[in-house]
Chains A and B, each alone.
Chain A
Amino acid sequence: MLLTKREEHLLKAFQDYGKLSIDNISDILKVSKRTVYRTISDLTTSLNTLNISIIKEDNRYILAGELENLRQFSSQVTYTRNERLNLITYRLLTTSGEVTNEELQTEFGVSNVTIIQDIADIEKRLADFDLILGRKKGYQIDLNQDNARRLLAILMVNTIPVSDFGNQDYGYYHESYDQSFNQASAIFQKYQENLPEMDAKMSQFFIILLALANHGVTPGNIKLVSKVSLDFTQSVYAEYSKVTGHFYSIQEILYYASILDELLIKRQETPLFHENFDSAFYYSVSNLIDKVALYTKINFAKDRVLFKFLFNHIRLSLAVPTLFEDNSNAVIAHSALQHSEYLHRVVSLLVMEIFPRYLQSESELELITLHFASSLRRSPDIYPIVILLLTDERPLARELLITRIKTMAPFVEAVHVKPPLRFSQEDKEYYDCILTTKLLKDESVKVVSIYPDGKEMLQLQDYLQEVQSNREVRVREQKIFDGEYDFQKYFLASQILLERFSYQHLDNLSTFEETVPMVVNKIDYISDKDYLSQKLLRRFEISPMAIPETHLALLHTYSSRVTESCFMIFDLNVPVNAQSMNHETESVSRILVMLTRMGESEEIRDLMSAISQSIIENHLYTEIYKTGNKDIIYQLLNQIFTEKIKKLEN
């Protein structure tokens, strides 16, 4: 006798409680009454083989018949196809020998053919991660392959929901990993503040990766890791080895630090102050936006928020890609895209061209399209109310919710988001309405699901309309969220940078390596020119910064040997070849130099960041940097500074 999960759940409820009403069952199974009737009917058919039936007494149902037969019935859990693919992969990644088709048939209660199909899908997916599935007498993944441990961590993140993980509910893995997950969580979280901010799912990945330390072979050949990453890893492993009593080698520590570098530290939105910056990734995201804009003729580059969301979303998806798609989850994004078929096609084709294979699942493509689609819908309107949304959900989920709110209530001018923990009484004064995705004690705060259904959306619409018609006119002093800015200081800083700006021709030698010291030599604001030339070249090797198809290269650093921060341009008499952000050769005829003094004021640093962003993110500006003469670029800088200061004022 094979039961579906739902039937099994119901059978267990009968065994636990005896009598059950339709309402009881509906609550227990969390399904509609109609489904309850169907499940009862299905279970009746299944139980008939054991001579057991379900009878109705006073509007309640009970089991009747040869109940002792139930004892022989050993629970055969049935898995969905998605669960099976994940679990088989898990078996393969944790078994050093071979796993036979027969073993898998028994374990999962499916036929030989089903397993063969599953294995074919798994093999294909493993290949996306450069892992090879061996077949001799059975199936086997050679666990000496570098990516094996990392894939296991990805698989575990895929199969333990973030909220369960936070509650130390590790589902399938609980027996084998309870202890190490708990230990790794505690230690990782203790030091997490030393790392850049990250999504809960990303930290789950790093916690699991820590718990998998020493699993299989240690991937070797790691050369350079960043200071931030190494400091963090050293602290974490020092403590982790104390609690586990195991030894972790230098290679283990470097491996962990290198993954932190790759997935998090090198992928930061503001490139300027990071030594090992992943320019290729940065370029891929802005290139995606540019190309989508080109094919759709919609200027997505204007929407600064889009870059930010896409950057974070894709960064997370690259770290923890979905291994096997669960079709039941795809519905939300899918339905939201009904009217954006062309956009979806353009985005899909470009993502496939730009990003690695393992990212390109159908649901991932839909989610990325959704970011573009919601960019289109972000627009403020005329009878404004301002909402505060309290939530800890992922940016995409909450962005989707916000988009839906704004679509059905165009009078919503802005929805600000805060984690519930940071909610304060002051917020009530400031906002017209406060929504939360998590139940709070405060009853004036309206609860809303993160994925509300149609009915709930209608209710919410009524609620917001009521808020709008009853709203008090609030005098809002423009609240500045990120502390106080002294605009006078910003203004002075921009004057200083404009004064130091220069544009020169350079009679250079024929290689990039020879040209850089010549450039450095021309700049007055450097105390040790040899050192700085070497540093710039070394950095360029790690994070190449020629901008593809522009003949531009950017040299930038943050150093104690810089005496004054400055931005300068050098036109080369002889073009030289340099590596571009997407690791191709670019013929460079103009070099942009950005030098930042160690300990520089916040104002100057902000403005320098604004320049660097304008160079690589904005297509129009890049064009000006490429061809503009001194006056034009001076005007451009002036404009960028003004924009930046205006933005701070708002």
Chain B
Amino acid sequence: MEFQKDLIKLNQAFDNKEAAIRFCGQMLFQAGYVEEDYIEAMIQRNKELSVYMGNFIAIPHGTDAAKEKVIKSGITIVQVPDGVNFGTEEDPQVATVLFGIAGIGDEHLQIIQKISIFCADIDNVVKLADAQSEDEVVRLLDSVE
């Protein structure tokens, strides 16, 4: 899996999860990975089943139906130092790193699986959240096979 430096954004802040997901979608759209409709599908997907994955990460992605809106597989990584709540007020689920995903066919699942395995080690999440440059993020993720 290739990580594009221009799809990595450090030190972002969002008012709520919807804004965060929209931001990820917008990045994918502007870089030509998805059609614009995919962004709404990402919001929709999170309503059906939360894209919060545990260990302070979220993986926003579109619904299965929106797969046809994917032009090519891509991934955007957004660092949110103050966190953004993907849960509720009573039961907060704070994500500090977001992985916005567009995947063709099975690639979709494979990418999510790889990120989940990498981030099962909380130390890796901390490193991603503390990374000071886009290069550092790429280097960390390249260590995943």
Contacts and interface: CB of A to CB of B under 8 A. Distances in A.
Interface of A: 230, 233-234, 237-238, 241-242, 245, 247-251, 253-254, 257
A253 B106 contact: no
A234 B120 contact: yes
Interface string B63-93: 0000000000000000000000000000000
A250 B113 contact: no
Contacts of B117: 234, 237-238, 241, 248, 253
B119 to A, nearest CB: 6
B120 A233 contact: yes
Contact of A248 (B55, B110, B113, B145): B113
27 contacts: A230-B120, A230-B121, A234-B118, A234-B120, A234-B121, A238-B113, A238-B145, A241-B113, A241-B117, A245-B106, A245-B109, A247-B109, A247-B112, A247-B113, A248-B113, A249-B53, A249-B116, A250-B53, A250-B55, A250-B57, A250-B116, A250-B119, A250-B120, A251-B54, A253-B116, A253-B117, A257-B120
A237 B116 CA distance: 10
B139 interface: no
B98 to A, nearest CB: 15
Contact of B114 (A238, A249, A251, A257): A238
A254 B120 contact: yes
Contacts of A233: 120
Interface residues of B, number: 17
B120 A253 contact: yes
Give the top 9 A-B pairs by smallest Cβ distance, nearest first.
A253-B120, A250-B54, A241-B113, A250-B120, A234-B117, A250-B116, A238-B117, A250-B55, A250-B53
A241 B108 CA distance: 13
A250 B106 CA distance: 19
B43 to A, nearest CB: 21
A510 to B, nearest CB: 34
A249 B106 contact: no
Interface of B: 53-55, 57, 106, 109-110, 112-114, 116-121, 145
A13 to B, nearest CB: 50
A237 B110 CA distance: 12
Contacts of B53: 249-250
* Max chain B C-beta neighbours (<10 A), residue from A233, A238, A248: A238
Contacts of A250: 53-55, 57, 116, 119-120
A230 B55 CA distance: 14
A233 B118 CA distance: 11
Given A247-B109, A248-B113, A257-B120, 5 more contacts: A242-B110, A249-B116, A250-B116, A253-B116, A253-B120
Contacts of B116: 247-250, 253
A248 B116 CA distance: 8
Nearest to A223: B122
B123 to A, nearest CB: 9
A250 B121 CA distance: 9
A253 B114 CA distance: 12
B89 to A, nearest CB: 20
Nearest to A250: B54
A260 to B, nearest CB: 13
Nearest to A254: B120
Contacts of A242: 110
Contacts of A234: 117-118, 120-121
B54 A249 contact: yes
B27 to A, nearest CB: 23
Contacts of B120: 230, 233-234, 250, 253-254, 257
Contacts of B54: 249-251, 254
Contacts of B112: 247
Nearest to B109: A247
Nearest to B116: A250
A352 to B, nearest CB: 38
A253 B117 CA distance: 7
A246 B114 CA distance: 12
Nearest to A236: B117
A234 B117 CA distance: 6
A245 B108 CA distance: 11
A470 B112 CA distance: 69
Contacts of A254: 54, 120
Q: Identify which of A234, A241, A245, A250 gathers the most chain B CB atoms within 10 Å of its CB.
A: A250
Contacts of B57: 250
A479 B114 CA distance: 49
B96 to A, nearest CB: 14
